[in-house]
Amino acid sequence: MAELVLGIETSCDETSAAVLSVQDGRALLRSLVILSQDVHRIFGGVVPELASRAHLRTIGPVVDQALREAGAAREELTGIAATAGPGLIGPLLVGFTYGKTLAWRRGLPFIGVHHLEGHLFAATLEDPLLAPPFVALLVSGGHTMLLHVPEWGRYELMGQTRDDAAGEAFDKVAALLKLGYPGGPVIERLAREGAPDRFRFPRPLLVRSGAGRFEFSFSGLKTAVLRAVQLSDNLERDRADLARGFQDAVLEVLAEKTAMAVDEAGVGTVVLGGGVACNAALAASVGRSVGQSVRVVTATPRLNTDNAAMIAAAGAWRLSRGERSPWDAEATDNMVFPGLQPFSIANGQWAI
Ligand code: KG4
Ligand code: ZN
């Protein structure tokens, strides 16, 4: 019998729900609804309190719409998965509590999902044969990390950022260039028109050996762009070239370090995940750096930015192994991602 899993994602400023059916280990995405909260554009960044309130207003209709689009009734669901963290605590609580309550009401198994594990599973929705071992480059607004994934559920941290995340750097540079929020998509668009040789920014920590070779640092690069912006006597004229210079620097660092990680781990596949993986030039850059013998896999942009389909996919995998929340000690360990503070909602002290 097919499993029918409802996924819920509300860790930041997207209210999202998805329905995934799984039969004989094959997942089929039946619906995906993503409601992006526009209100934050006015403030140039996500305002947590406003995000929580918007999630509260829309979580019910978004879940209903996902069920409608899947042609599924609540009675047909066999499990529910919701993002447990990391993320903004108010927004997380809305989706997590909604999912947990719905599961309790229907007597369904419920699983809290690590947001980053969700990003890792995103590409499996379009590439069902995708399986470890692989190296993953996770690049989002909050994280930048290289992971060796020998099997699902085992994530070995090779390196991460010492300061800003790659997506955060895109957002901050977009703000410097007065391009609005979020910055990634607009910088990518503008960079296509920019000259590659007018601004050459530093490639931070691009070293071939030593502890720093899998680590990242983007705050200095951001300052270098700030200086160039201050020195520009015509930002209108320079904007596209600055965007191009910045993007080239970030992508070269990401691609070269990913290639080194692939070499070190000895794998034949790279998975790119997280919002910055929407950037088509990133996949191209990584492809060039790793060479033709390594497969570069990434999901379409809709599945790379925050969405509930990836949460349903990771949740369905965990549910199929018999895992359930509220978690026991073992399940709590599963919520720990290497290099990140362990987290749990209310320290795992929740129960219905
Ligand atoms: O994974 P995500 O949707 O949310 C987090 O978990 O953080 O990532 C959002 C980040 C933002 O910083 C956004 O600017 C960036 O992903 N992003 C991009 C692109 N699309 C989104 N960065 C570069 N190029 C893009 N096309
Ligand atoms: Zn994310």
Q: Is 200 exposed, middle or buried (0-12, 13-18, 19+ CB in 10 A)?
A: exposed
- The verdict on the CB of residue 274 being under 6 Å from ligand 1 is yes
Give the whole-angstrom CA distance, residue 85 versus residue 114: 6
Distance 168 CA to ligand 1 centre (A): 8
Distance of CA 157 to the CA centre of its chain: 16
Ligand number, closest to the Cα atom of 14: 1
Q: Dump pLDDT digits (tens) for 197-236.
A: 999 999 999 988 888 899 999 999 999 999 999 999 999 9
Return the closest-CA partner of residue 232 out of 223, 222, 242.
242
Contacts of 6 (CB under 8 A, 6+ apart): 17, 18, 19, 63, 66, 67, 77, 79, 80, 81, 99, 102, 312
- The verdict on the CB of residue 316 being under 6 Å from ligand 1 is no
Residue 230 host element (H or E):
helix 219-231
- The verdict on the CB of residue 165 being under 6 Å from ligand 1 is no
- Helix/strand/coil for 254: helix
Residue 84 host element (H or E):
strand 79-85
Atom from ligand 1 closest to the CA of residue 119 = 1
Q: Dump pLDDT digits (tens) for 268-317.
A: 999 999 999 999 999 999 999 999 999 999 999 999 999 999 999 999 99
- The verdict on the CB of residue 343 being under 6 Å from ligand 1 is no
For ligand 1, atom 13, the nearest C-alpha belongs to 184
Per-residue pLDDT at 25: 79
Tokens standing for residue 82:
């919701």
Give the whole-angstrom CA distance, residue 78 versus residue 3: 6
Per-residue pLDDT at 85: 87
Atom from ligand 1 closest to the CA of residue 167 = 12
Sheet holding 295-298, edge to edge: 154-160, 144-151, 134-139, 269-273, 295-298
- The verdict on the CB of residue 323 being under 6 Å from ligand 1 is no
Terminal C-alpha separation, the chain: 29
Per-residue pLDDT at 331: 40
- The verdict on the CB of residue 279 being under 6 Å from ligand 1 is yes
Task: Give CB contacts under 8 A, 24+ apart, made by 336-339.
Answer: 337/114, 337/116, 337/117, 337/155, 337/157, 338/147, 338/155, 338/156, 338/157, 339/145, 339/157, 339/160
- 247 close to 187: Cβ distance less than 8 angstroms: yes
Tokens standing for residue 265:
């781990």
Distance 11 CA to ligand 2 centre (A): 8
Per-residue pLDDT at 69: 98
- The verdict on the CB of residue 86 being under 6 Å from ligand 1 is no
Give, in order, the Cα–Cα distances in Å from 278 to each of 7, 21, 124: 21, 25, 16
Per-residue pLDDT at 333: 43
- The verdict on the CB of residue 87 being under 6 Å from ligand 1 is no
For ligand 1, atom 7, the nearest C-alpha belongs to 141
- 337 close to 116: Cβ distance less than 8 angstroms: yes
Per-residue pLDDT at 330: 39
Per-residue pLDDT at 342: 52
Give, in order, the Cα–Cα distances in Å from 145 to each of 150, 210, 263: 16, 17, 16
- 163 close to 157: Cβ distance less than 8 angstroms: no
Distance 235 CA to ligand 1 centre (A): 24
Return the closest-CA partner of residue 16 out of 1, 38, 31.
31
The answer to pTM > 0.95 is: no
Per-residue pLDDT at 341: 53
Give the whole-angstrom CA distance, residue 25 versus residue 11: 27
Per-residue pLDDT at 337: 61
Which residues, in sequence order, are bridge partners of residue 33? Answer: 17
Per-residue pLDDT at 43: 85
Tokens standing for residue 32:
């995906």
Sign of CA dihedral 84, 89, 95, 101: positive
- The verdict on the CB of residue 188 being under 6 Å from ligand 1 is yes
For ligand 1, atom 14, the nearest C-alpha belongs to 184
Which segments of the chain have a pLDDT < 70? 326-352
Per-residue pLDDT at 347: 34
Determine the angle formed by the axes of helices 219-231 and 235-265, rounding to 10 degrees: 160
